[in-house]
Amino acid sequence: MKKIGLVGGTGPESTLMYYRELNSRIDKLTNGQTMPELSIESVDFYKVWKYVADRQYEPLVSYLAEKVHNLVAGGAEVVSLTAATMHIVFDALSERVDTRLVSIPVAIRDEVIRRGYKKVGLLGTLFTMEQDYMKKALRESGIEISIPEKEDRELIAVRIYEELEHGIVKEATLAEFQKIIGSMREKDGIEAVILGCTELPLLLNKDNCTIPCIDSVEVHIQKLIDLAMA
């Protein structure tokens, strides 16, 4: 079993999901014989989000690279960021560190292909929805991606930052998101929706999403498990 290293704190709620799920799933897969050795380097949530908001990507890369180096120095062999938005600097970060990082966008692309979808919707932070880092791998594989209308994107971003990042889950917010997804299905003809922020599974899941959803946390965690147990 390879040691797993996570860059966490972006935000804390999703980091908790990664820690809990990696331990419980590997415990189950090994019939109660093994839990993973796991290290977390937790960043200052407000610091990294200010870097992203101000488009200060070089300081962000340096800060994240320091965390990755600490994980590798501590023996981690399977290393990943635990937030989709931080993948905005994934390529530059990968060049700065001496280990292979496990990409959320690539894991999602592989899952979309496995399920056979040709047109999907993408929900996430404003950066995730509006920029290219979560879409590139999908487009290069011939998959169409739709995002919500501008007003809906802004609402989603506020709900993620002000509620889900703090572990606040509201029925009213769920209804808003269900309405947005329904509109995308009618207008854009999407077959499924990608939960492209690692806090979105706190709110949406296969039981309450109006169309099939691809949970970025679920897909990414399974990839980490596969690599750790290989």
Range 113-125 average pLDDT: 96
Report the distance separating Cα 132 and Cα 64, nearest Å: 20
DSSP secondary structure string for all residues of the chain: -PPEEEEE-SSHHHHHHHHHHHHHHHHHHTTTS----EEEEE--HHHHHHHHHTT-HHHHHHHHHHHHHHHHHTT-SEEEES-SGGGGGHHHHHHHSSS-B--HHHHHHHHHHHHT-SEEEEES-HHHHHSSTTTHHHHHTT-EEE---HHHHHHHHHHHHHTGGGT---HHHHHHHHHHHHHHHHHH--SEEEE-STTGGGT--TTT-SS-EEEHHHHHHHHHHHHHH-
For strand 38-42 and strand 144-146, is the pairing parallel, antiparallel, or unpaired? unpaired
Range 166-183 average pLDDT: 96
What's the mean pLDDT when you consider all of the chain?
95
| Residue-level pLDDT at 198 | 84
Range 13-20 average pLDDT: 90
Residue whose C-alpha is closest to residue 15's, from 106, 105, 80: 80
Range 205-209 average pLDDT: 94
pTM of model > 0.85: yes
What is the tens place of the pLDDT at every residue in 34-73? 999 999 999 999 999 999 999 999 999 999 999 999 999 9
| Residue-level pLDDT at 195 | 95
| Residue-level pLDDT at 97 | 97
Query: How long is the chain?
Result: 230
Dihedral sign, Cα of residue 167, residue 121, residue 179, residue 191: negative
Confidence of residue 229 (pLDDT cuts 50, 70, 90): very high
Report the distance separating Cα 74 and Cα 14, nearest Å: 22
| Residue-level pLDDT at 12 | 87
Range 187-200 average pLDDT: 94
Residue whose C-alpha is closest to residue 6's, from 101, 106, 127: 101
Range 148-168 average pLDDT: 95
| Residue-level pLDDT at 89 | 96
CA atoms within 13 A on the CB side of 15: 19
Confidence of residue 14 (pLDDT cuts 50, 70, 90): confident
Report the distance separating Cα 52 and Cα 44, nearest Å: 13
